[in-house]
């Protein structure tokens, strides 16, 4: 039988090609494989994938006034590098790409969005900005004394003293429900507002179920 002198070199070359191809495919798989423990996506931030996705709002009140330590999400339409979550600093400002420091405290989300829009117009063509309050940390009240949970409490819109006490986990057996009072700072002075819990829950003196203000301290002796 006559053997083609080109058959063996051709077979070797084909085998070598298939080996190289298989090695390249395995390398590609290893490159695309995520490291162990990295199944969770990194938190969205400015310039990160998903930064322009708007999270749930902590409040839907259009008149909510942003305060220090609140957390916001700034979304600029079709500009993921300019979108992301940002905390309001104690000085009331936020830091944004291109704009640096922007005053946020004292503004409503809509007003702040308008401010950012105007500032971005020198860098972005027809910017569309949305501001969402994702965490409310500036509106806090405090509970001390004979309550279930002593400490700070995020204040909801139009929160009353009864609502705050209900959120405190109830009273201890030593609580004097007739001698509760609120400490409030007004015009640089601290005032004391008496609250008789038993009278209020019995439907009497509803005026004592006052609306709380940020910084109020409820004392249950």
C-alpha to C-alpha distance for 73 and 82, rounded to whole angstroms? 11
Domain segments of the chain as ranges: 71-135, 140-220
DSSP string for residues in 22-34: HHHHHHHHHHHSP
Q: What is the pLDDT of residue 144?
A: 96
pLDDT of 142-175, one tens digit each?
A: 999 999 999 999 888 789 999 999 998 889 999 9
What is the rounded average pLDDT for all residues in the chain? 82
- How many Cα atoms sit within 13 Å of 156 on the Cβ side? 9
Higher pLDDT, 45 or 101: 101
Judged against a pLDDT cut of 70, whether residue 123 lies above it is answered with yes
pLDDT of 35-89, one tens digit each?
A: 443 333 333 456 555 555 678 888 888 898 999 999 999 999 999 999 999 999 9
Ramachandran quadrant class, 182 (left: phi over 0; alpha: psi -120 to 50; beta: rest): beta
Residue 207 exposed, middle or buried by CB count within 10 Å (0-12, 13-18, 19+):
exposed
Closest CA to 159 of 89, 88, 87, 59: 59
CATH of domain 71-135: 3.30.1950.10
Q: What is the pLDDT of residue 130?
A: 95
- How many Cα atoms sit within 13 Å of 77 on the Cβ side? 8
The domain 140-220 having CATH identifier 3.10.560.10: the answer here is yes
């Amino acid at each position: 039988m006559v053997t083609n002198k080109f058959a063996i070199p051709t077979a070797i070359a084909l085998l070598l090609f298939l080996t190289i191809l298989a090695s390249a495919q395995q390398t590609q798989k290893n490159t695309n494989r995520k490291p162990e423990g990295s199944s969770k996506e990194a938190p969205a931030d400015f310039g990160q994938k998903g930064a322009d996705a708007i999270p749930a709002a902590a409040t839907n009140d259009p008149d909510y006034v942003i305060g220090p330590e609140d957390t916001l999400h700034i979304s600029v339409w079709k500009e993921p590098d300019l979108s992301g979550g940002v905390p309001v600093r104690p000085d009331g400002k936020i830091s944004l790409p291109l704009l640096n420091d922007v005053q946020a405290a004292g503004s409503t989300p809509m007003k702040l969005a308008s401010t950012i829009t105007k500032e971005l117009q020198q860098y972005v063509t027809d910017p569309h900005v949305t501001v969402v309050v994702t965490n409310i940390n500036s509106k806090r009240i405090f509970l001390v004394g004979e309550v279930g949970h002593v400490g700070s409490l995020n204040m909801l819109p139009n929160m009353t003293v009864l609502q705050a006490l209900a959120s405190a986990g109830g009273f201890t057996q030593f609580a004097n429900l007739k001698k509760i009072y609120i400490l409030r700072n007004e015009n640089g002075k601290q005032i004391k507002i008496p609250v008789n819990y038993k009278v209020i829950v019995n439907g009497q003196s509803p005026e004592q179920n006052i609306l709380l203000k940020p910084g109020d301290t409820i004392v249950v002796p």
